Structure 1
Amino acid sequence: MGLLLKKLFRRRIVLLAALVLLTVALIAMAAQWVTPYDPNDTAVLERLKAPSAAHYLGTDELGRDLFSRIAFGGRYSLAIAALTATGAILGGTLLGLVAGFFRRLDAPLMRIVDAMMSLPDILLAIALVAILGPSLLNVVLALVLVYTPRVARVVRASTLVVRELLFVEAARALGIATWRILWRHILPNLLSPILVQASFIFAYAILAEAALSFLGVGVPPEIPTWGTMVAGGQQYAHQSLGVVLYPGLAIILTALSLQLLGDGVRDLLDPRLKKSM
């Protein structure tokens, strides 16, 4: 494990991405100890203030401390992304395994997946949230449904390859139960693409949540995610750019770091790219 991490962080850009993610996660988890104010405390007389010793990143349109809101908002944004990635990985892996291993189910399942993937992610998410209603749980559910087909496609393609290998054929010949073959022999060989997809979906979910909130169909405004902060502050950006700049930077840095880390993991686990690392 230590050798793998050493190889992964040999590239400085991947190490920097990991440090950024670690910093963001630590600030979010320790928000109640590292922030000077409650994120919902308003002080109208202090509205749209520039960064100062009292307010590290300034204040928003209601006089709320931006640093505190970004720190606490990170909890919601990261939680939405983590739940989305977990749900999409579980659902997509199950669909991909079934479609790739059972030939009769392959065509009907993949036609459904193809139909869902034919729509742009954000449009499908908007439609699903409009049907389900705007709430944190419904946003997570909508994003899980959006990204599950992406994972299913990748897992199916890998399953089609693994199921034809000799050790799987030997397990079938020995009469080992199908569920055991899937769990013990096929799934472990799919962990590399699944891990890479998880890192990418985590990043996509952060961006998608921000986009949905910006369009007014995502998480309710009273929940301080990074997306709702950008959406709420856009009309005040001409008075104080920080109300959209700082939460926007948090979104960009986190998503970019996740993408870079995912690229590093992919390069490490891909036999064709190992030598270049």
Structure 2
Amino acid sequence: MRAVLTRLFRRRIVLLSAIVLAAIVVLALGATVFASADPNDTAVLDRLKAPSAEHLLGTDELGRDLYARVVHGARYSLSIAAMTAVGAVVFGTLVGLIAGFFRRLDAPIMRVVDAMMSFPDILLAIALVAILGPSLANVVLALVLVYTPRVARVVRASTLVVRELLFVEAARAIGARTAHILWHHVLPNLLSPILVQGSFIFAYAILAEAGLSFLGVGVPPEIPTWGTMVAGSQQYADRAFWVVLFPGLAIILTALSLQLLGDGVRDMLDPKLKKAA
């Protein structure tokens, strides 16, 4: 385990990203401890107050404590991104395995995947949320459908290579069942690209949720995600820059940390990169 962590964190930027991400996760998990104020408690007389000792990050247009909203918003934003990443990885892996292992199903499945990927992610997400309706569950479902094809293409490409290897042929020769081959021989050799794709989709989902909320088709405004904070306060940015600065920084730091950490995982797991190093 120590050797794995050493390889992963040999680049300082990856270590810094992991520390930043860990701090954000701790804040999200302990939101009620680190920010005891109610994120939805309004105080109109305190609206648009600058950062101070009383309000560390200032207040928004309704006088709500921005620090409490950013900290509690981390819980919602990270939850949406995590559920999206898990759902996309599970369904994308299943679709990719079937398409890559069964030759007859490859063409029809991948044509559907290609058709879905022909649309820009945000446009497809907007269309799906418009059909399903704006709610937290529907936003997650829409984002899972948007990012599942990404995972499916990567898994399918890797499966095409793994299924031709000798140990898979040997398992077939001794009469192993297809399900056994997929679970015990193919899937373990796909964990590297799956983990990398999962980390990237986690970051993409945070940005996508913020984009949907900014356009008014994301989660309901009463749910304090980072995206709804930016969307609800954008018209006051010229008078109180902090109302969009701090939620925006939270989005940027989290997404960037996830991307850099994903790059570190990819570099660690990629045998060609390890050989070059």
Within 5 Å, which residues of 2 pair with 1:14-93?
14-93=14-93
- Using the alignment, how far apart are the partners of 2:46 and 2:272 within structure 1? 57
Residue matched to 2:107: 107
Counterpart residue identity of residue 83, structure 1: M
Within 5 Å, which residues of 2 pair with 1:109-188?
109-188=109-188
For the residue of structure 2 that corresponds to 1:61, the secondary structure is coil
Residue matched to 1:270: 270
For the residue of structure 1 that corresponds to 2:210, the secondary structure is helix
Residue matched to 2:199: 199
What do the CA deviations read for 1:106-165 (whole angstroms, capped 9, x no partner)? 000000000000000000000000000000000000000000000000000000000000
- Using the alignment, how far apart are the partners of 1:193 and 1:7 within structure 2? 17
- Using the alignment, how far apart are the partners of 2:251 and 2:13 within structure 1? 18
Counterpart residue identity of residue 119, structure 1: F
- Using the alignment, how far apart are the partners of 2:181 and 2:128 within structure 1? 35
Q: Could you tell me how far 1:36 is from its partner in structure 2?
A: 4.2
- Using the alignment, how far apart are the partners of 1:276 and 1:201 within structure 2? 27
Q: Could you tell me how far 1:275 is from its partner in structure 2?
A: 3.8
Counterpart residue identity of residue 32, structure 2: Q
Q: Which runs of 5+ in 2 are unaligned?
A: none
Counterpart residue identity of residue 191, structure 1: L
Percent identity of paired positions between Structure 1 and Structure 2:
78
- Using the alignment, how far apart are the partners of 1:167 and 1:19 within structure 2? 40
Residue matched to 2:259: 259
Runs of 4+ residues over 2 Å off in structure 1: none
- Using the alignment, how far apart are the partners of 1:9 and 1:140 within structure 2? 31
| Cα RMSD after superposing both structures | 0.7
Q: Which runs of 5+ in 1 are unaligned?
A: none
Counterpart residue identity of residue 35, structure 2: T
- Using the alignment, how far apart are the partners of 2:27 and 2:50 within structure 1? 22
TM-score by structure 1 length? 0.99
Counterpart residue identity of residue 32, structure 1: T
For the residue of structure 1 that corresponds to 2:49, the secondary structure is coil
Residue matched to 1:5: 5
